[in-house]
Amino acid sequence: MAKDEGLIFPKVGYKEKLKEYNPGQSKKYQSSQESQLLEQSRRQAWILVRKAAELLKKKFGADKVIVFGSLANQVNFTLWSDIDLSAWGIPIDRFYAAVAEVADLSSHFKIDLIDPETCKSVVRDAILTDGIEV
């Protein structure tokens, strides 16, 4: 028995399915159902973003919250995208508690919280340039 047989790929037909896969055309030919799932996922992500921003402002004293990454740029958002947030004004001694609470808001989405005061300047510049304030 092959090492991956029956574990990762189905026993029959997986080689044929791999031959059919064309990543360059996958977005162009999404089915209507896939498009609806993507839009539903995007809406759910934005609901979580607003909930996280409210939590960060009310409980942790954030002055400003910005969503960045694939959710801020609709073209790059996929069903597997995470949520990237950056928050200003959270005291350093409470930042990791804020990270934990934000991460616990969803079992579906991975939520990352970046401290703009300590991240690399190139990351902070991208957040400020391409991000959306919530």
Q: What are phi and psi of 65, to 5 degrees?
A: -125, 130
In whole angstroms, what is the distance from residue 83 CA to residue 128 CA?
A: 16
- What pLDDT was estimated at residue 3? 39
Q: What 3-state DSSP class applies to 19?
A: helix
Q: Residue 25, class by beta-carbon neighbours within 10 Å (0-12 exposed, 13-18 middle, 19+ buried)?
A: exposed
Provide the percentage of residues in the chain whose pLDDT is more than 90: 69
| Banded model confidence at residue 36, pLDDT cuts 50, 70, 90 | confident
Specify the pLDDT at position 15: 52
Predicted local distance difference test score (pLDDT) of residue 2: 40
Tokens of 109: 């989405």
Domains of the chain by range and CATH?
A: 30-133 (3.30.460.10)
Tokens 């759910």, residue located? 44
List pLDDT tens digits, range 45-104: 999 999 999 999 999 999 999 999 999 987 899 999 999 999 999 999 999 999 999 999
Chain-wide mean pLDDT for the chain? 84
Give the pLDDT band of residue 31 (cuts 50, 70, 90). Answer: confident
